Amino acid sequence: MRTAILASGRGSNLQALIEACQSGCLPIKIVAVGSDQPGTGALKRSEEAGILTRVFPIKNYPHRQAQEEDILIWMRENRVELLLLAGYMRVLSPQFIRQVSFPVLNIHPSLLPAFPGLHAQLQAVEYGVKVSGCTVHLVDEGLDSGPIILQEAVPVLPEDTEESLAQRILEVEHRLYPEAVRLLVLGKVQRFGRRVQILQQEG
């Protein structure tokens, strides 16, 4: 499945997806990586892996819609069949989502619907929850509100800071995101409204 990835930062989840592809564990082909930020670690990782990259700096566009139109054209040119968000820090507009005819997935560092949006790990620490984690979900027109594919819990320790909790959650993200993508591509993900069922593996 021809896959594009949008990323804004260091690209550690992107790297996990690249390595899963290279090992043969993930049946997708990452054909392009885009970013709204020039010079990111995600772009560097992509270039090192020989993947086509493109930057869409928001300052280069008169408004958000123009940037998103450019991203849509870029995906059409690359015949994209799946879009993955890997630390992409801009919320895609409802208009963008309505124009995409293929699945869009995101990973979020909390057990949604708890702590959507930015700084989810800090929100968890400040709220005093005992368990947080990460969620892979289908992207819809809301903020981190799409149907949930996979979740995994991570305990919040009494001494945790935003940074220490984020690091432990990230280790789980690197395993959970490729697995969710694999299940989707293999047709193991069935959606019934908001609910997602994972079909049992054969054998």
The pLDDT of residue 131 is above 80 = yes
Q: How far is CA 9 from the centre of its chain?
A: 12
Summarize the confidence of residues 167-176 as an average pLDDT: 98
On the question of a common fold for 1-102 and 106-203, the answer reads yes
Q: What is 1-102's CATH number, 1.20.200.10, 3.40.50.170, 3.40.50.300, 1.20.1740.10?
A: 3.40.50.170
User: CA 77 → CA 3, 17, 194, distances in Å?
Assistant: 12, 22, 31
Confidence class of residue 201 from pLDDT cuts 50, 70 and 90? low
Mean pLDDT for the chain overall: 97
**Other CB atoms closer than 10 Å to residue 34's CB: what's the count?**
24
Q: Is 144 helix (H, G, I), strand (E, B) or coil?
A: coil
Per-residue pLDDT at 200: 82
Q: What percent of the chain has pLDDT over 70?
A: 99
The reported pTM is 0.96
Mean pLDDT along residues 2-13: 97
Alpha-carbon distances of 107 from 21, 73, 94, 178, 198, rounded to whole Å:
18, 24, 18, 10, 17
CA angle 123, 126, 130 (to 5 degrees): 90
- For the question of residue 174 being annotated catalytic, the response is no
CA-CA distance, 202 to 114, in Å (whole number)? 33
Q: What values do phi and psi take at 200, rounded to 5? A: -65, 140
Catalytic residue among 108, 119, 137, 174: 108
Identity of the residue numbered 6: L
Give the pLDDT band (50/70/90) at residue 203. Answer: very low
Omega before 113 within 30 of 0, i.e. cis: yes
Under a CB-based contact definition with an 8 Å cutoff, are residues 83 and 3 in contact? yes
Residues 6 or more apart in contact with residue 108 via CB below 8 angstroms = 116, 120, 134, 135, 137, 144
The Cα 163–Cα 122 span in angstroms is: 8
Q: Per-domain residue ranges for the chain?
A: 1-102, 106-203
pLDDT band, residue 29 (cuts 50/70/90): very high
Choose the CATH number for 106-203 among 3.40.50.170, 3.40.50.300, 3.30.460.80, 2.30.130.10.
3.40.50.170
Tell me the pLDDT tens digit for each residue of 67-121. 999 999 999 999 999 999 999 999 999 999 999 999 999 999 999 999 999 999 9
pLDDT score of 167 more than 60: yes
Q: How many CA atoms lie within 13 A of 42 on its CB side?
A: 27
- 8 Å CB contact between 84 and 181: yes
